[in-house]
Structure 1
Amino acid sequence: MTVPDFSFETAFAARGFARIAGVDEVGRGPLAGPVTAAAVVLNPLRIPEGLDDSKKLSMKTRQRLSDLLWQQAEVSIGEASVEEIEHLNILRASHLAMRRAIEGLKRPVDMALVDGSMVPPLPCDAQPLVKGECRSLSIAAASIVAKIWRDLGMVALAQQHPGYGWETNMGYGSPRHLSALKNLGVTPHHRRSFAPVHKMLYQQN
């Protein structure tokens, strides 16, 4: 099992990159809600133990680590709205969220380690890492922070639009969510270009 470490950060630091951020996004697949990215600059002397791909961690562990990261690291969140997802497409919107996360850091960074195979347009050098959240502690940290932030946002939206189950499915197309789409209709927070939502709108017209 691959466990993230600090080797990429150390290697780039040795090449003169003083400030290195890990970047990851969450929320490409859901039918509703924004896509969210986080950028995290870890303090090498205060790295919380247990950082890993957010999908491998329990909700309680993710929350604990997210709280620690906000205290012990430099963290920034970037989002792209449903409207921007519709206008740009989900890939370009996720890249926009990543750029906003990087630009939101207190000081510019020299290098961004980005989860995935593509480099979004960022105001710094960048290195893509496939399965980066399993390889780089900085990207793992970003995956945790982004996941918690978006989940909390979807829980808040669920209170405004009850019945879709967003407090548990986080906007993904669960059976409850799909059933609610048929019975309750499409909300302003739904991504209209995504197939199940588009189909609902088409059937209603």
Structure 2
Amino acid sequence: MTTHSLFEEETYELIAGVDEAGRGPLAGDVYAAAVILDPAKPIAGLTDSKKISEKKREVLAVEIKEKALAWSIASSSVKEIDTLNILQATMLAMTRAVEGLTIRPELVLIDGNRTPKQLMLPAKAIVKGDLTEPAISAASILAKTARDASLLALHQQYPDYAFDQHKGYGTALHLAKLTTLGPTPAHRQSFAPVRQATDSGKMVKRNP
């Protein structure tokens, strides 16, 4: 039996950590992961995925998948982002990640300041939880590595856009590509820079 440090009044055996990756970028799906760690198999070095190198994230992702009691990665599509808005699409991806776990958690700890309304389990939001809760840190790493892999796939599909460099974020390089080439079908039309590029009359057709 394990007792969670933040909630001494309640005792839980199975705690799932949940985090997302890709809310801010102008392109690509938004990803979420859920992880139930095994107390008998500790993993060193867990923290916010943004604070460790890409190489270290990849190593930890393998270890998490090997040692966790259960893990799940899910996403919401660009179409869902544009239809629902990015917040609701993120909540949907988080719900899907929890629902994909092979073990039902007793408590879900979510990075941020809100929990998905669709989640039919006890849940608590923790601001900067990826820095303080190992299960959320693990979820952060799985979500980040999965999303980065999807952006490398987009780079193969649209090599002129340098998705391998900016990972879809609104960097100067990415904005310059949008201005000169126009958006691809992988871009989020509901985001202002993409909408502005679309209004300029350029649009890349989907590859066959």
**TM-score normalised by L of structure 1:** 0.92
Matches within 5 A, 1:44-193: 44-73=39-68, 74-121=70-117, 122-193=119-190
Alpha-carbon spacing, 1:158–1:9, altered in 2? closer, same or farther (3 Å): farther
Structure 1 residue matching 2:116: 3-state secondary structure: coil
Tell me: CA distance 1:166–1:13, structure 2 relative to 1, closer, same or farther (3 Å). farther
Q: Secondary structure at the match of 1:9?
A: coil
SS in structure 1 at match of 2:17: strand
8 Å CA contact 1:40–1:141 kept in 2: the answer is: yes
CA gap of 1:176–1:34, structure 2 versus 1, over 3 A, is: same
- SS of 1:204's equivalent in the other structure is coil
- Is 13-22 or 106-115 further displaced after alignment? 13-22
Counterpart pick for 2:15 among 5, 12, 20: 20
- Alignment correspondent of 1:4: none
Shift in alpha-carbon separation, 1:94–1:203, aligned structure 2, 3 A: same
The answer to whether 1:196 aligns with 2:193 is yes
**1:11, CA displacement in angstroms?**
5.8
Alpha-carbon distance between aligned partners in 2 of 1:157 and 1:113, rounded to the nearest angstrom: 31
Contact 2:3 2:12 in 1 (8 A): no
Assess if the C-alpha contact under 8 Å between 1:8 and 1:136 holds in 2: no
Aligned residues of 2:31 and 2:147 also touching (Cα < 8 A): yes
Tell me the distance in 2 between the aligned counterparts of 1:35 and 1:17. 29
1:18 deviates by 2.4
Partner Cα distance (2:28, 2:110) in 1:
22
Query: 2:35 touches 2:135 (CA, 8 Å); kept in 1?
Result: yes
Task: Render the CA deviation track for 1:72-124: whole Å, top value 9, x for unaligned.
Answer: 11210110000000110000000000000000000221110000011112121
Gaps of 5+ in 1: 1-6
Find the aligned partners of 2:194 and 2:3 in 1 and give their Cα distance: 40
Gaps of 5+ in 2: 203-208
Match of 2:29 among 31, 34, 59: 34
Letter in structure 2 aligned against 1:91: L
CA distance in 2, matches of 1:114, 1:149: 18
Aligned length: 199
| Contact 2:155 2:164 survives alignment (8 Å) | yes
Q: More displaced, 83-92 or 17-26?
A: 17-26
> In 2, are the aligned partners of 1:103 and 1:123 still within 8 Å (CA)?
no
Pair 137,155 (structure 1): closer, same or farther in 2 beyond 3 Å:
same
TM-score, L = length of structure 2? 0.91
